[in-house]
Structure 1
Amino acid sequence: MIDLHCHILHGLDDGADTSPASIAMAKEAEKQGISAIVATPHHKNGAYENVKAEIVTSVAALNKELTKAGINVDVLPGQEIRIYGELLEDYEKDELLTIAGTSSYIFIEFPSGSVPHYTEQLFYDIQMNGLLPVIVHPERNQELIQHPDRLYSLVKNGAATQITASSYTGHFGKKIQLFTEQLIDAQLTHLLASDAHNTHTRTFKMADAYARMAEKMGDDYVYYFQENAELIIEGNHLYKEPPEKIRKKKKILGIF
């Protein structure tokens, strides 16, 4: 199993704060059957800035620690980039990382309550420069919950999305869990990852999520999400089904 989104690098953001905390997270990941983790510290979110060179150095150091500890989890470099207008300019400066550092996919985070007005143009420009935007945890974005057609348009025009395991298992509440299920049903999401920050309040839940998915949706869905993660790590394009629109339901409104 591969986890594409995890805050395992210590001292860089609101994830692991110490080396022992990073090792504890890796141990928990190994227990869940995770063999590779993409470390995705926050970048440009107003609180943290973590450029490519610093992340690559931290990943190399953590992998050495895990080898010493006998933990069979490979950590790969990545970034959770808050959307901003100069994103492409900074990519040209070699400050930004794609997922795993070798793929064409780049994680983009929206503010929790909105989708910036320039998103469509930026996503177009990103794709014209050979990159493929992946929207992280769209199921927790207030505007997308209230206006799911906005997400449909972005996906139809080339974006992919990544849902959080804890959203699917109900950690963030029943309403976000329901919206996560609707994203899966409408083929508006393509990747599942942990977004783990620690081993207590924000842990992996990957095994739980896939077990729930197998029970509710069938093994084909589990294979779809797991295969897409592998495809990205291998530098290939993920598989996307044609998206469908979500019909608004009153129980989805007023979540926040």
Structure 2
Amino acid sequence: MIDLHCHILPNVDDGSQSVEDTLNMATVAVEEGITTIVATPHHKNGRYENNKATIETRVNEVNKLLKKNNIDVNVLVGQECRLYGEVLQDYEAGKIATLANSNYLFIEFPSNHVPKYTKDLFYDIQLSGLTPIIVHPERNSELMERPEKLYEFVKNGALTQITAGSVIGGFGKKIKSFTEEIIEANLSHFLASDAHNTTNRTFHLKAAYDTIHQEYGEAMVYFYSENAELVLENNHVMVEQPSTIKRRKKLFGIF
């Protein structure tokens, strides 16, 4: 398996806090059947700033560490970039890392809203030859309340990545339910762990794929796993026709 979203680099953000944490995370990843991890430290989220050059250095160090400890997993360069107005300029200046040096760029929204300039900025990002991938849209409160916004982003060419923990209910019933709506409306294209540690924010990737298989069948498992490979190959990913999420109107506060 390929994990496109993981905070495995030590001492760079709220993920791994030590070399020991990184080794533990890599060990658990191997046990889950993960062979390749894209390291995606936070960038510009108000607390952390991890430029491309720093990430490349840390990834090289981690791969040497894993080889020394005979842990058979390969780590690639990535970044979880909070959306901000100068993201495209910083990409052109070499500060922004795409996923495994592909044309796919992880974009994170604030947890409680979607910036008003997102549509225009996504247009500019795509015009530059990059494809934005919205990470964990199921955990964004504005998208949860107004899923038509997510539909518009996807219809206009953005992609999305749902979190393994959300699929299995690790973030609660409401987020699990929204995740299912996203999947059923063809509004998701990737499944990844967003693992931060081996305790409360671990991988759950195998369990999520098992759940996907049970609820949606082998074809959906293939869809997510193949798309992860296509990103690493920098090829066009598979995209299904998206649809809007339709909900029954509330009556006296009850669905």
Q: Do both share a fold (TM > 0.5)?
A: yes
- Cα deviation for residue 249 of structure 1 reads 4.1
- Post-superposition Cα deviations, 1:35-60, rounded to whole Å, max 9, x if no partner, equal 00000000000000000000000000
- Cα deviation for residue 199 of structure 1 reads 0.2
**In 1, Cα distance between equivalents of 2:88 and 2:81:** 12
Provide the TM-score with structure 2 as the length reference: 0.97
**In 2, Cα distance between equivalents of 1:214 and 1:92:** 40
Q: Percent identity?
A: 57
Match of 1:225 in 2: 224
SS of the aligned residue for 1:175 comes to helix
Provide the TM-score with structure 1 as the length reference: 0.97
Q: Matches of residues 116-131 of structure 1 in structure 2 within 5 Å?
A: 116-131=115-130
**In 2, Cα distance between equivalents of 1:99 and 1:248:** 34
**In 2, Cα distance between equivalents of 1:137 and 1:118:** 19
Match of 1:94 in 2: 94
Aligned length: 251
Q: Matches of residues 103-118 of structure 1 in structure 2 within 5 Å?
A: 103-118=102-117
2:221 alignment partner AA: V
- Cα deviation for residue 157 of structure 1 reads 0.2
SS of the aligned residue for 1:49 comes to coil
- Cα deviation for residue 177 of structure 1 reads 0.4
Match of 2:237 in 1: 238
**In 2, Cα distance between equivalents of 1:249 and 1:47:** 39
- Post-superposition Cα deviations, 1:127-167, rounded to whole Å, max 9, x if no partner, equal 00000000000000000000000000000000000000000
SS of the aligned residue for 1:45 comes to coil
- Post-superposition Cα deviations, 1:203-223, rounded to whole Å, max 9, x if no partner, equal 000000001111111111001
Q: Matches of residues 85-234 of structure 1 in structure 2 within 5 Å?
A: 85-101=85-101, 103-234=102-233
Match of 2:9 in 1: 9
- Post-superposition Cα deviations, 1:97-135, rounded to whole Å, max 9, x if no partner, equal 11112x110000000000000000000000000000000
- Cα deviation for residue 237 of structure 1 reads 1.4
**In 1, Cα distance between equivalents of 2:135 and 2:84:** 15
- Cα deviation for residue 250 of structure 1 reads 5.9
- Cα deviation for residue 10 of structure 1 reads 0.3
Q: CA RMSD in A?
A: 1.0
> Post-superposition, which runs of at least 4 consecutive aligned residues in structure 1 deviate over 4 A?
none
**In 2, Cα distance between equivalents of 1:44 and 1:216:** 36
**In 2, Cα distance between equivalents of 1:75 and 1:25:** 12
Unaligned runs of 5+ in 2: none
- Cα deviation for residue 248 of structure 1 reads 2.3
Unaligned runs of 5+ in 1: none
**In 1, Cα distance between equivalents of 2:249 and 2:43:** 35
**In 1, Cα distance between equivalents of 2:72 and 2:2:** 13
- Cα deviation for residue 235 of structure 1 reads 1.2
